[in-house]
Amino acid sequence: MSEGDNPPLAAATLARVRESFARQTMMATFAARIVDIGPGFCRLAAPIVPGARQQQGFGHAALTFGLGDSAAGYAALTLMDEGIEVLTVEMKVNLLAPAAGARLVAEGRVVRAGRRLTVVTAEVRADGRAVALLQGTMIAVPAAG
Amino acid sequence: MSEGDNPPLAAATLARVRESFARQTMMATFAARIVDIGPGFCRLAAPIVPGARQQQGFGHAALTFGLGDSAAGYAALTLMDEGIEVLTVEMKVNLLAPAAGARLVAEGRVVRAGRRLTVVTAEVRADGRAVALLQGTMIAVPAAG
Amino acid sequence: MSEGDNPPLAAATLARVRESFARQTMMATFAARIVDIGPGFCRLAAPIVPGARQQQGFGHAALTFGLGDSAAGYAALTLMDEGIEVLTVEMKVNLLAPAAGARLVAEGRVVRAGRRLTVVTAEVRADGRAVALLQGTMIAVPAAG
Amino acid sequence: MSEGDNPPLAAATLARVRESFARQTMMATFAARIVDIGPGFCRLAAPIVPGARQQQGFGHAALTFGLGDSAAGYAALTLMDEGIEVLTVEMKVNLLAPAAGARLVAEGRVVRAGRRLTVVTAEVRADGRAVALLQGTMIAVPAAG
């Protein structure tokens, strides 16, 4: 994991994000990993795995959506306090082009962070080409346990 | 596959839907199957598989979205001519409750079928309880090959 | 105002809705009025006024959206306690057909009422024909003053 | 009308946009005008007129939505051929803050221009502060007449 151009996260925040991400078996099924993260920002990358295709062999909308949604959610989580989890309230995706190629990269960004609700966007690219744009709302909830 | 209360599809249409669905490896990964289908209607069912969870152990939004999106897409495909495939233009999901439980059912319906664009909705339930509502647009494209 | 098929609202709730609606100058500009209301339900009607047209002379998307959004918002408000106002968090509209004709009717419904967030849908018809479908989220906030 | 930082439009395109905008009586009711335009870009400005308020006295969601939607639509129209009109297929708005203040500015941008469908975004600011984010789809249709 590299923090790229973004200011670094506090170590505790980074640990919380990593731990939450590791619990998402969906991300493991998608072979996704966090490749960059900073305050209000998260970038995921994943191969287009054989088990996540649509009928024409391109990446399924569930894959594109899932990566964008998770990138946006973890972007939101970076701005939240300890003991808080983030859940998706709603999310809209516009699919710009087929998810063709070998590798997807999803970049999530916080547009407006509120106390409870955070507005986020995400862009998903396939081999560098934009394939999806997402816009939605995340909610902060107390972490269980 | 049972056609339930819905009028039956023409055999050729049903065959096209089944064949397209079978090519979606994402649906196999989700262990999803078509449990009811009719003109402008499609119902999918799937267990919440271990590999499609979010950080709290509930079904991931990508799973919920993916089932709703596919149910809506195949609902649209039932009204399209031979040689036509359906792709998602855009889809919005409101998550109503955690996808808790054992089994998801997604019902997709056509709201308005146009020559190119079809407006669809879908509802996803977990063990009978509504967990997501989707609304979006499908586009008819010539099938490859 | 008639309550139609819907169970009647408590008089105090109806008074709150009417008072809030009367303060919306946008609704007066659109010549809109509440024609039916009940718990979790609100129906508005409005002529397609000359000052709310798009470039082809049909009702503007802002009119269709505004009526659907307000119908959905007041549907949500019927289920909220005294001293609470409702605001739109996000709303998505699919436009099904041009808003042609003389009169729009917008029906808003609550899909899931939470303590803070309420998921709503609305349908807008022009002279009886469906022209728009909306799906969104309302938030309960303390009323000012 | 000034073209600001954006490359200038062909005179014929600019004339088409101006003529279409002038036919939208909704924009006149909102006292909106085009303040900047270029290829794939359109900025509108409008006072928050007394007749477009919600129940708390802020700009109504229909106003915010309408300006964002029109800015996005005219951004799309700048990239379309003569004899083509643009209509909204679907649009989603996230409201970030109340539309408080004196003046709204809406900036629409083309994200991806297709032959029929164009994906757009818009941001609306009130007195310089972001109050809404829109993401949607426009469709090119033959102009009537």
Could you report the per-residue pLDDT of C92-123, keeping only the tens digit for each?
999 999 999 999 999 999 999 999 999 999 99
DSSP annotation of C60 reads P
pLDDT digits 0-9 by tens, D110-128: 999 999 999 999 999 999 9
Residues 6+ apart with CB under 8 A from C31: C46, C47, C49
DSSP 3-state assignment of D26?
helix
Amino acid at C135: Q
Query: What pTM, to 2 d.p., does this model score?
Result: 0.95
Kindly determine whether residue C117 and residue A89, on different chains, have CB atoms separated by under 8 Å: yes
Kindly determine whether residue A91 and residue B66, on different chains, have CB atoms separated by under 8 Å: no
Confidence of residue B145 (pLDDT cuts 50, 70, 90): low
pLDDT digits 0-9 by tens, B44-88: 999 999 999 999 999 999 999 999 999 999 999 999 999 999 999
DSSP 3-state assignment of C46?
strand
Q: How far is C-alpha A112 from the geometric centre of its chain's CA atoms?
A: 16
pLDDT digits 0-9 by tens, D41-92: 999 999 999 999 999 999 999 999 999 999 999 999 999 999 999 999 999 9
**Residue D43 in tokens:** 């900025």
Kindly determine whether residue C111 and residue B119, on different chains, have CB atoms separated by under 8 Å: no
Which has the closest alpha carbon to B133: B117, B142, B120, B145? B120
Chain A closest CA to D96's CA: distance in Å?
7
Place of tokens 């728009």: C132
Among D135, D137, D139, most A C-beta atoms within 10 A, so best to mutate, is D135
CA gap C99, B5 in Å, rounded: 33
Chain C closest CA to D26's CA: distance in Å?
4
Instruction: Give residue A31's pLDDT.
Output: 98
The answer to whether residue C37 scores a pLDDT higher than 90 is yes
Give the pLDDT mean for B82-109.
Answer: 97
Nearest CA in chain A to B62: A66
Chain C closest CA to B118's CA: distance in Å?
9
pLDDT digits 0-9 by tens, A52-95: 999 999 999 999 999 999 999 999 999 999 999 999 999 999 99
Is the domain B11-142 a CATH 1.20.140.10 member? Answer: no
List the end-to-end C-alpha distance of chain D, in Å, as a whole number. Answer: 27
Kindly determine whether residue C111 and residue B96, on different chains, have CB atoms separated by under 8 Å: yes
Instruction: Give residue C143's pLDDT.
Output: 87
The answer to whether residue D4 scores a pLDDT higher than 60 is no
The answer to whether residue A50 scores a pLDDT higher than 80 is yes
Instruction: Give residue B3's pLDDT.
Output: 45
Instruction: Give residue A4's pLDDT.
Output: 53
The answer to whether residue C126 scores a pLDDT higher than 70 is yes
Kindly determine whether residue A112 and residue D96, on different chains, have CB atoms separated by under 8 Å: yes
- β-strand partners of C120: C110, C136
Chain B closest CA to D44's CA: distance in Å?
26
Which has the closest alpha carbon to A93: A120, A53, A54? A120
CA gap D2, C139 in Å, rounded: 39
The answer to whether residue C4 scores a pLDDT higher than 60 is no
Which has the closest alpha carbon to C112: B98, D53, B30, B141? B98
Instruction: Give residue B6's pLDDT.
Output: 63
Kindly determine whether residue C62 and residue D26, on different chains, have CB atoms separated by under 8 Å: yes
DSSP 3-state assignment of C61?
helix
Residues 6+ apart with CB under 8 A from C26: C66, C70, D51, D52, D53, D54, D60, D62, D63
Q: Which residues of C touch B136 (CB under 8 A)?
A: 94
CA gap D26, A100 in Å, rounded: 42
Identify which of C94, C97, C119 has the shortest CB distance to residue B94.
Answer: C119
Give the pLDDT mean for C16-38.
Answer: 97
Instruction: Give residue B88's pLDDT.
Output: 97
Place of tokens 């799309």: D76
Q: Centre a 10 Å sphere on the Cβ of residue C22 and count the other Cβ atoms it contains.
A: 12
Instruction: Give residue A123's pLDDT.
Output: 98
Give chain A's contact residues with D (Cβ, < 8 Å).
92, 94, 96-97, 111-112, 119, 121, 130, 133, 135-137
Instruction: Give residue A39's pLDDT.
Output: 97
Q: Centre a 10 Å sphere on the Cβ of residue D102 and count the other Cβ atoms it contains.
A: 8
- β-strand partners of A94: A133, B90
Instruction: Give residue D21's pLDDT.
Output: 97
Confidence of residue B143 (pLDDT cuts 50, 70, 90): confident
Q: Which residue has the higher pLDDT, C143 or D93?
A: D93
The answer to whether residue A43 scores a pLDDT higher than 50 is yes
Nearest CA in chain B to C112: B96
Kindly determine whether residue A137 and residue C89, on different chains, have CB atoms separated by under 8 Å: yes
The pLDDT mean for chain C works out to 94
The answer to whether residue A10 scores a pLDDT higher than 80 is yes
Q: Which residues of B touch D136 (CB under 8 A)?
A: 90
Instruction: Give residue A8's pLDDT.
Output: 85
CA gap C43, C74 in Å, rounded: 9
The neighbours of chain C, by the rule of 3 or more Cβ pairs under 8 Å, are A, B, D
Instruction: Give residue B104's pLDDT.
Output: 98
Instruction: Give residue C112's pLDDT.
Output: 98
Identify which of D96, D111, D135 has the shortest CB distance to residue A92.
Answer: D135
Please check whether residue D6 is in contact with residue D37, taking contact to mean a CB–CB distance below 8 angstroms: yes
| Residue-range domain boundaries for chain B | 11-142
pLDDT digits 0-9 by tens, B4-37: 566 789 999 999 999 999 999 999 999 999 999 9
Nearest CA in chain C to D139: C95
Q: Residue C109: is it exposed, middle or buried by C-beta count within 10 angstroms (0-12/13-18/19+)?
A: middle
Nearest CA in chain C to A117: C89
The answer to whether residue B131 scores a pLDDT higher than 50 is yes
Lowest-pLDDT choice from C4-13, C29-38, D26-35: C4-13
The neighbours of chain A, by the rule of 3 or more Cβ pairs under 8 Å, are B, C, D
The answer to whether residue C2 scores a pLDDT higher than 50 is no
Give the pLDDT mean for B96-105.
Answer: 97
Backbone angles phi, psi at D6, to 5 degrees: -85, 150
Query: Using H for helix, E for strand and C for coil, what is the string for chain B?
Result: CCCCCCCCCCHHHHHHHHHHHHHCHHHHHCCCEEEEEECCEEEEEEECCHHHECCCCCECHHHHHHHHHHHHHHHHHCCCCCCEEEEEEEEEEEECCCECCCEEEEEEEEEEECCCEEEEEEEEEECCEEEEEEEEEEEEEECCC
Share of chain A above pLDDT 90, in %: 91
Identify which of D89, D92, D136 has the shortest CB distance to residue B117.
Answer: D89
